[in-house]
Amino acid sequence: MTTNKVKKTDAEWRAMLDSMQYEVTRHAATERAFTGKFWDHHAHGIYTCVCCNTPLFASDTKFDSGCGWPSYFQALDPANVTEIVDRTHGMLRTEIVCAVCDAHLGHVFPDGPPPTGLRYCINSASLRFDPQP
């Protein structure tokens, strides 16, 4: 993706996001499992970043992983997500952030279905949904 980075002040992020969206995207919080609006969502469309509307995941890559968060087996465009080594909470994980605005999205794990074997475990609070015909 060739879009310029989206930068806002903390006050600007707070003004545009609700409290859960702000904590998840700007401070890497995690919503409780089975509580987000997209964990059991099955409509056809594109999931975009709640902070900058960058297209992140297509509904046809979403699957039920049983973890309580929306899960996808691939990003819509790998250039739209950035992987970061995450050593918090005594674990070694791969954090996923939006490549355009650095919003925390969730984590990616190597235990997903074919064809990629990946499970992008994403907070609903970091997403918007754009229905497609």
pLDDT in tens, 6-26: 999 999 999 999 999 999 999
Q: What is the pLDDT of residue 88?
A: 84
- Which one, of 70, 73, 69, lies nearest residue 61 by Cα? 73
Share of residues in the chain with pLDDT > 70 (%): 98
Q: Which of 79, 58, 70 is nearest to 106 (CA)?
A: 70
Cα–Cα distance measured from residue 4 to residue 100, given in angstroms and rounded to the nearest whole number = 7
Position 3 confidence tier, pLDDT thresholds 50, 70, 90: low
Active site residues: 121
pLDDT band of 71, cuts 50, 70, 90: very high
pTM, rounded to two decimals = 0.93
72-106 pLDDT, tens digit per residue, is: 999 999 999 999 998 888 888 999 999 999 999 99
Q: What's the mean pLDDT when you consider all of the chain?
A: 95
In this prediction, residues 63-79 reach a mean pLDDT of 96
Helix (H, G, I), strand (E, B) or coil at 119: strand
Annotated binding site: 49, 52, 98, 101
Q: Assess whether pLDDT exceeds 90 at residue 133.
A: no
For the segment 25-49, the average pLDDT, to the nearest whole number, is: 96
- Architecture of the domain defined by 10-131: Beta Complex (2.170)
Binding-site residue ranges for Zn(2+):
49, 52, 98, 101
Q: What is the mean pLDDT of residues 54-63?
A: 98
